[in-house]
């Protein structure tokens, strides 16, 4: 009997584990599995995990209607400089734009400062005779034959991918497209990225950086996605492959191959989306989505059920927490704040004799010392095990055995270097990580004009629920939520995500001279382009949501803010909206200053078939709720406390449990301290509050 495909399969490849969720939208039933990531070939671990989660659910490959995927592969390629041999053709005189950057030091007094290295070396950057004015008019015609000869030389030298970035191409793409068409005819196997297609916005350096980043990872994306699609077909999975974008939406594989730079923050964006989705389901209002996995911890602000969105970020930073130390990338992205280390982050004695944690990670191979895979360095996960927060016999629900003795051996060496007891060294790692995350979160939230106390902290990721209560206490947050399936929260978020496409068009006009008809024409063209992308996903276009925005500033300013546009586009309403947004950020507006547009933006989203609905995870209704107890070191008590351990799957909505307590499920462990009360909400979320 043939089966009609109906299931959704989510695959999120992280630095330590690959998370997989199989969801039946009809019944809401979801099955979760964590497979160790295979760094040599991430698709190998993904496919092994896909077959395992199907086996555990008792379902067949041919029942899978769609596969939703997020990966850090392309971000890692930028960080590790393992992308394609990339060349650049740019306007004569602008060969060194990537080197010059913004001419701004991210650490003013560091005379040995290391700036981010360009993805394209100087010898592979060539110039073309052409020039456009800022309004897009032609000042110097393109010498097409000479430009093609430059490309011929680059290909002869081994270039695999080409970025074409001409001055002011955001205002007029004609020269870029003419060269692109000629190169495509002459070198059909050469991967091409045009700035007018990838980042049609002002500012030459960020536009060039973004286009070069796309060119750098595009051949890798094309090969990886083609291989993954072939492996899915070979496994008998008929469903289409959809990719998680940095903006919190989904796209189809063809669009991901065209512009893989849009996927650089796909995994973390899924975590923020999960925080928003679970927060809405639990009725929590505003939440701080705290996602801590094996490599990093990230935070996203979710206001009124929606994560904040930014129109650019930095990749491959030289200093992880310093703005300006990375490569600027002009894409729409969920606003993510990297706030700390992950479970695999390595602890060591610093050169000053103090305890340092991260940024290097043990990853999946060899992993933390307790994994028994050859790792000998103490990590955050080893510390959590030493402090009783994790149960060696119930890691991944007992599927993976970890060894406390190996963790102790690793910490014995660190403790000797620090001159403290092993348990004190483990507590130090735990405290350093929690304080670092709380400090970074405190600053990041304040920079956005918010106060942590106005939010609930919602924890996802394998390590997030372990550390959430301690981080929240340091932030003064009184409510901490741990949703069901938190250890695979990002993957669940992916399955609930809509299809989405974001587009931008230049509109450099003073508000006083703006023409609503011209603005509507640009926005309509952007919407038409976005709809074409969504059409390829199979999303429900009858239920689309459209957001029209504009980048605006006071004339003479060097940066702009993005504001929502009113329906009628009347200048008076636009001015009022801009001034309100400006005052919200800066408290006051400059009197008498004129306003101008810089660009128009459009965001289009539509629900995907099989997304949304209920989420029904494994439960042991009527089973024994309390599994036992064990000594756990709680920072609140500054001591070891005998702590009750609960089987999360046996808890029912309405259950009320006084802390301290440990709640165990297969993919994560939620730890709450003394003086807390936990309540199970109707959707299965555990909400812990200060008593």
What pLDDT, in 10s, does the model give residues 427-486? Answer: 999 999 999 899 988 988 888 888 999 999 999 998 999 999 999 999 999 999 999 999
DSSP H/E element including 548: strand 545-554
Average pLDDT on 587-607 reads: 95
pLDDT at site 115: 85
In the predicted structure, residue 209 carries a pLDDT above the cut 60? yes
**Whole-angstrom distance, CA of residue 237 vs CA of residue 228:** 11
93 shares its domain with 191: yes
What is the rounded distance in angstroms from the CA atom of residue 355 to the CA atom of residue 428?
7
Torsional sign, CA 166, 170, 175, 180: positive
654 lies in a domain? no
Q: What are phi and psi of 182, to 5 degrees?
A: -65, -40
The answer to whether 93 touches 35, Cβ cutoff 8 Å, is no
Q: Give per-residue pLDDT as tens, 344-357.
A: 889 999 888 889 88
- Residue 1 pLDDT level (bands cut at 50, 70, 90): very low
Q: How far apart are CA 508 and CA 522, in angstroms?
A: 12
Distance CA 158, CA 167 (A): 26
Q: What is the mean pLDDT of the chain?
A: 92
Do 530 and 577 fall within a single domain? yes
pLDDT of residue 297: 87
> Residue 301: inside a domain, yes or no?
no
> What pLDDT does residue 621 have?
66
Secondary structure percentages of the chain, helix, strand, coil, to 5: 35, 25, 35
Contacts of residue 600, defined as CB under 8 A and 6 or more positions apart, other chains included, come to 504, 505, 507, 519, 522, 523, 526, 548, 549, 550, 551, 565
Same domain, 148 and 229: no
The number of C-alpha atoms within 13 Å of 314 and in the hemisphere containing its C-beta is 18
Prior bond to 489 cis, omega within 30? Answer: no
Q: What pLDDT is attached to residue 361?
A: 81
Q: Kindly state the DSSP code that residue 463 receives in the 8-state scheme.
A: S
230 falls within a domain? yes
Alpha helices (H) along 539-614: 571-586
The torsion angles phi and psi of 672, rounded to 5 degrees, stand at: -125, 150
Strand partners, 674: none
**Residue that terminates a domain, selected from 555, 586, 606:** 606
Residues 20 and 37 in one domain: yes
141 DSSP 8-state letter: -
Query: 204-220 in b/e burial notation, b at 16+ Cβ within 10 A?
Result: bbbbbbbbbbbbbbbbb
Dihedral sign, Cα of residue 153, residue 154, residue 158, residue 161: negative
Mean pLDDT of the 220-232 span? 94
Q: Is 586 a residue whose pLDDT tops 70?
A: yes
Mean pLDDT, residues 649-678 taken together? 94
Which two three-digit tokens encode residue 332? Answer: 């729409």
Same domain, 92 and 177: yes
The percentage of the chain sitting over the pLDDT mark of 90, rounded to a whole number, equals 69
Q: Please report the beta strands in 330-391, taking only residues with DSSP state E, as ranges in sequence order.
A: 333-334, 337-341, 345-349, 355-361
In a domain, 283, yes or no: no
Looking at the fold, whether 558 and 586 belong to one and the same domain comes out as yes
Read off the pLDDT of residues 253-288 as tens digits, 9 standing for 90 and up: 999 999 999 999 888 888 888 899 899 988 898 999
Percent of the chain at pLDDT > 70 equals: 99
pLDDT in tens, 509-564: 999 999 999 999 999 999 999 999 999 999 999 999 999 999 999 999 999 999 99
Q: The domain containing residue 45 runs over which residues?
A: 7-78+223-263
- Please report the DSSP string for 614-641 in residue order: --B----TTS-SEEEEEEEEETTTTEEE
Choice between 471 and 72, residue whose per-residue pLDDT is larger: 471
Residue 619, judged by CB atoms within 10 A of its CB (0-12, 13-18, 19+), counts as middle
* pLDDT > 80? residue 87: yes
The two structure tokens encoding residue 498: 């809509």
Within 13 Å of residue 493, how many CA atoms lie on the same side as its CB? 36
Using CB atoms within 10 Å of the CB of residue 289, give its burial: 0 to 12 exposed, 13 to 18 middle, 19+ buried. buried
- Rounded Cα distance, 179 and 172, in Å: 13
Examine the domain organization and report whether 70 and 89 are in the same domain. Answer: no
Structure pTM? 0.89
Closest among 646, 652, 651 to 628, alpha carbons compared? 646
Residue where one domain finishes, among candidates 606, 625, 648: 606
Any bridge partners for residue 678, and if so which?
657, 688
Q: 4: pLDDT confidence band, cut at 50, 70 and 90?
A: low
Alpha-carbon distances of 344 from 80, 101, 382, 397, 611, rounded to whole Å: 18, 34, 8, 19, 32
Residue of 121, 145, 6 lying closest to 65 (CA atoms):
6
Please state, as a whole number, how many other Cβ atoms lie within 10 Å of the Cβ of residue 373: 14
CATH of the domain at 512: 3.30.1490
How confident is residue 577, by pLDDT bands cut at 50, 70 and 90? very high
Which of 189, 210, 231 is the endpoint of a domain? Answer: 210
Bridge-based pairing of strands 86-91 and 125-128 is: parallel
Tens of pLDDT, residues 36-67: 888 888 889 999 999 999 999 999 999 999 99
Residue 17 has pLDDT above 80, yes or no: yes
b vs e for 638-676, b when ≥16 Cβ sit within 10 Å of the residue's Cβ?
Answer: eeebebbbbbbbbbeeeeebebbbbbbbbbbbbbbbbeb
Beta-strand relationship, 456-460 and 355-361: unpaired
Residues 89 and 74 in one domain: no
HSE at residue 146, side-chain half, CA atoms within 13 A, is 11
Shared domain for 92 and 72, answered yes or no, is no
pLDDT score for 3: 52
Residues 104-136 have pLDDT tens digits of: 888 888 888 888 899 999 999 999 999 999 999
Q: Which of 567, 556, 545 has its CA nearest to residue 598?
A: 556
Taken in order 172, 176, 179, 181, the sign of the CA dihedral is: negative
Domain with 232 in it: what CATH number? 3.30.420.40
Does 379 reside within a domain? no
91 and 199 in a single domain? The answer is yes
Does a structural domain hold residue 248?
A: yes
Question: Averaged over 315-328, what is the pLDDT?
Answer: 82
**Number of compact structural domains in the chain:** 3
- 90 and 68 share a domain? no
pLDDT for residue 43: 87
Q: What is the mean pLDDT of residues 313-320?
A: 82
Per-residue pLDDT band at 2 (split at 50, 70, 90)? very low
Evaluate whether residue 413 is within a structural domain: no
pLDDT of residue 434: 92
Indicate whether 112 and 206 sit together in one domain: yes
Is 662 inside any structural domain?
no
Averaged pLDDT, 162-182: 97
Q: Is the peptide bond before 660 cis (omega within 30 degrees of 0)?
A: yes
Each as own residue / partner, the long-range contacts of residues 640-646 (CB below 8 Å, 24 or more positions apart, any chain) are 640/388, 641/674, 643/388, 645/391
């Amino acid at each position: 009997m043939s089966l009609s495909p109906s299931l959704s399969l989510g695959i999120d490849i992280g630095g330590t584990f690959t998370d997989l969720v199989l969801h039946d939208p009809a019944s809401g039933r979801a099955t979760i599995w964590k497979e160790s990531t295979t760094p040599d070939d991430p698709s190998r671990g993904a496919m092994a995990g896909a077959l395992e989660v199907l086996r555990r659910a008792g379902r067949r490959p041919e029942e899978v209607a769609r596969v939703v995927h997020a990966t850090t592969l392309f971000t890692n390629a930028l960080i590790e400089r393992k992308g394609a041999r990339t060349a650049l053709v740019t306007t004569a005189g602008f060969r060194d734009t990537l080197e010059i950057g913004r001419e701004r030091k991210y650490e003013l007094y560091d005379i040995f400062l290391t700036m981010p290295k360009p993805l394209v070396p100087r010898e592979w950057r060539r110039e073309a005779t052409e020039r456009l004015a800022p309004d897009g008019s032609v000042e110097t015609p393109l010498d097409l034959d000479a430009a093609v000869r430059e490309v011929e030389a680059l290909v002869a030298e081994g270039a695999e991918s080409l970025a074409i970035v001409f001055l002011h191409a955001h205002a007029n793409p004609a020269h870029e497209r003419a060269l692109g068409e000629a190169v495509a005819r002459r070198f059909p196997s050469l991967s091409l990225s045009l700035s007018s297609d990838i980042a049609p916005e002002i500012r030459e350096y960020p536009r060039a950086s973004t286009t070069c980043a796309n060119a750098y990872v595009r051949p890798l994306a094309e090969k990886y996605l083609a291989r993954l699609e072939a492996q899915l077909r070979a496994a008998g999975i008929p469903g289409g492959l959809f990719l998680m974008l940095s903006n919190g939406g989904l796209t189809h594989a063809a669009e991901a191959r065209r512009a893989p730079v849009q996927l650089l923050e796909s995994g973390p964006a899924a975590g923020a989306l999960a925080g928003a989705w679970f927060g809405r389901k639990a009725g929590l209002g505003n939440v701080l989505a705290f996602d801590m996995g094996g490599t990093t911890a990230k935070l996203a602000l979710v206001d009124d059920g929606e994560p904040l969105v930014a129109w650019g970020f930095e990749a491959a930073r030289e200093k992880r927490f310093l703005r300006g130390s990375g490569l600027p990338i002009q894409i729409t992205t969920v606003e993510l704040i990297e706030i700390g280390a992950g479970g695999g982050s390595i602890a060591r004695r610093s050169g000053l004799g103090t305890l340092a944690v991260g940024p290097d990670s043990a990853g999946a191979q060899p992993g933390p010392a307790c994994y028994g895979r050859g790792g000998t360095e103490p990590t955050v996960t080893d510390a959590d095990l030493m402090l009783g927060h994790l149960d060696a016999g119930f890691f991944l629900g007992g599927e993976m055995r970890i060894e406390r003795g190996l963790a102790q051996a690793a910490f014995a060496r660190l403790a000797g270097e620090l001159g403290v007891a092993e348990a004190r060294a483990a507590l130090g790692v735990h405290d350093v990580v929690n304080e670092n995350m709380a400090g970074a979160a405190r600053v990041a939230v304040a920079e956005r004009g918010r106060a942590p106390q106005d939010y609930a902290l919602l924890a996802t990721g394998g390590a997030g629920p372990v550390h959430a209560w301690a981080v929240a206490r340091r932030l003064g947050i009184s409510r901490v939520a741990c949703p069901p399936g938190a250890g695979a929260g990002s993957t669940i978020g992916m399955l609930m995500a809509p299809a989405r496409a974001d587009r931008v068009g230049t509109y450099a006009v003073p508000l006083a001279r703006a023409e609503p008809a011209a603005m509507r024409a640009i926005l309509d063209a952007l919407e038409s382009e976005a709809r074409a992308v969504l059409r390829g996903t199979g999303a429900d276009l009858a239920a689309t949501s459209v957001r029209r925005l504009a980048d605006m500033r006071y004339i003479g300013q060097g940066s702009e803010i993005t504001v929502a546009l009113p329906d009628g586009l009347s200048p008076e309403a636009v001015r009022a909206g801009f001034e309100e947004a400006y005052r919200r950020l800066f408290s006051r507006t400059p009197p008498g200053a004129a306003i101008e547009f810089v660009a128009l933006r459009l965001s289009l989203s539509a629900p995907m078939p099989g997304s949304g609905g209920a989420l029904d995870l494994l439960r042991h209704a009527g089973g024994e709720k309390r599994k036992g107890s064990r000594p756990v070191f709680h920072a609140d008590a500054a001591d070891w406390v005998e702590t009750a351990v609960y089987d999360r799957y046996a808890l029912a909505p309405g259950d009320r449990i006084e802390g301290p307590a440990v709640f165990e499920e297969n993919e994560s462990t939620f730890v709450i301290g003394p003086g807390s009360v936990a309540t199970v909400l109707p959707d299965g979320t555990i909400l812990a509050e200060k008593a």
